[in-house]
Amino acid sequence: MEKFVIEGPAKLEGTVEISGAKNAALPIICASILGEGKTVLYNIPEVKDIHTISRILTYMGAKVKIEKNTMEIDPSGIFKYTAPYEFVSTMRGSICLLGPLLAKYGQARFSMPGGCVIGPRPIDLHIKGLKKLGVEIINEEGYIVGKTKRLKGNRIFLGGNFGSSVLATANVLTAATLAKGETIIEFAACEPEIVDLARFLKKMGAKIYGEGSHLIRIEGVKKLKSVEYTIIPDRIEAGTYILCGYITKSKIKVKNIIPFHLLSLIDKLEEAGLNVEVGEDYIETKPKSKWNAVDIVTLPYPGFPTDLQAQMMAFLTLADGISVITEKVFPERFIHVGELNRLGANITLDGSKAIVKGVRKLYGAKVMASDLRASAALVLGGLAAEGITEVSRIYHLDRGYERFEEKLQKLGGKIKREKEEKK
């Protein structure tokens, strides 16, 4: 295993280029199997999750090539419709293959994803939506087995106890493109990654209306063609670097982004008393030596993203005053709290709320990464802390951040990747 060794406090400067969005790329890669020929995708982030989905597709018989952020997928050889436990257990996102497999081949066998460190992650909405489209689904030895002769359009309410679901919307939307007749998804997720998926499917010939709103209408078509497509920039990676800039009191330019996707973050930074320079495709941090505490509630888009909650918490550990962070998407997603406290933060938990009392300084310490975004929060803490911070188990970070330490080094951050000594 590997770790990051970070020497803080860091002073950053320069420009960082943001990669393509992992969470847009995953459902788009899965949907590409609906095409008749070879799909070419540009701006693919070279991160572990993308390699995992590519391994699953290869296992199923597809031909996949990834080179310099371009991915080619030829699904013509697919002859297996199973996603085994070894793959699904490392990446829940692989669930977004379920809809495409059922739409194209009428069958799919998927290992049940189970829980993860950010709390229980049910898939009832995926199953409900696909059943409404005419899929028979049974649970067999830890696998969900789905079968259908031909999908049939329907009216589907996809809201759950925590609001809309991103990947359930992706699954049902993708499957409905090849269903007979019209499908209406109510309480659809509005995330930019869903809009990107819809734009990709439309380029393939799908008839989709209303993406980006809670009501999406799909008129099923018989066939989809393979296309070339460029993935949108990663708003979560962008938000992480913007917070790296502010927490280190540094002026940096975060480039190749769609600032419009980050309005909830910009709003909270301004509420904290900071200035944010917003350009057409960049955000420049305008640092200050002090910032105010702010309350955060995570919500589905356009609310504050749960995927930036941990990084925002790291930033608020150094604010003036007390911030309350309420997690409404994954109420148990607080595993980073104990680790941030090891760096000298003062955070207490009360159910799905974290109370962050601002401290004057953070101090370097040994901490352990637990999930993708929590790990990024620890890097933020380490950059701001005085002394050496070691973040172990960074394989979590490699799932979703492309060349994280290289990009930080280019900004002047003192961060190294080292082998972890065996205990």
SS3 13: strand
Q: Which is nearer to ligand UD1, 157 or 363 (CB)?
A: 157
Per CB under 6 A, 375 contacts ligand UD1: no
Q: Which is nearer to ligand UD1, 172 or 408 (CB)?
A: 172
Dig out the tokens for 112 from the structure: 């049940």
Per DSSP bridges, beta strands 182-186 and 155-157 are parallel
Q: In this structure, which amino acid lies at residue 70? A: T
Footprint of ligand UD1 on residues 180-209 (CB under 6 A)?
193
Binding part of the chain for ligand UD1, among 156-164, 238-246, 256-264, 319-327 by CB under 6 A, reads 156-164
* Interface residue with ligand UD1, options 59, 85, 157, 162 (CB under 6 A): 162
Per CB under 6 A, 177 contacts ligand UD1: no
Query: Which is catalytic among the residues 96, 116, 190, 244?
Result: 116
Footprint of ligand UD1 on residues 7-46 (CB under 6 A)?
23, 26
Count of residues engaged in binding ligand UD1, rule: CB under 6 A: 22
Report the C-alpha gap between 215 and 185 in whole angstroms: 6
Per CB under 6 A, 403 contacts ligand UD1: no
Binding part of the chain for ligand UD1, among 58-66, 77-85, 165-173, 353-361 by CB under 6 A, reads 165-173
Task: State the minimum distance, in angstroms, from the CB of residue 305 to ligand UD1.
Answer: 6
Binding part of the chain for ligand UD1, among 120-128, 145-153, 337-345, 381-389 by CB under 6 A, reads 120-128
Per CB under 6 A, 50 contacts ligand UD1: no
Judge whether 116 counts as a catalytic residue: yes
Per CB under 6 A, 405 contacts ligand UD1: no
Footprint of ligand UD1 on residues 226-285 (CB under 6 A)?
none
**What is the rounded end-to-end Cα distance, in angstroms, of the chain?**
11
Give the residue among 230, 227, 189 at the shortest CA–CA distance from 206: 227
* Cβ(182)–Cβ(208) below 8 Å: no
- Tokens 């049940």 — which residue? 112
Per CB under 6 A, 54 contacts ligand UD1: no
Report the C-alpha gap between 67 and 167 in whole angstroms: 26
- Give every CB contact of residue 307 below 8 A, 6+ residues apart in sequence: 23, 236, 373
Per CB under 6 A, 157 contacts ligand UD1: no
Q: In this structure, which amino acid lies at residue 350? A: D
Compute how many other C-beta atoms are within 10 angstroms of the C-beta atom of residue 13.
Answer: 12
* Cβ(82)–Cβ(60) below 8 Å: yes
DSSP character at residue 75:
G
* Interface residue with ligand UD1, options 25, 44, 64, 125 (CB under 6 A): 125
Report the C-alpha gap between 286 and 411 in whole angstroms: 15
Task: State the minimum distance, in angstroms, from the CB of residue 136 to ligand UD1.
Answer: 18
Helices first, then strands: H and E counts in the chain: 14, 24
Would you tell me which residues interact with ligand UD1 (CB under 6 A)? 23, 26, 92-93, 121-126, 160-162, 165-168, 193, 306-307, 329-330
**What residues are labeled active site?**
116
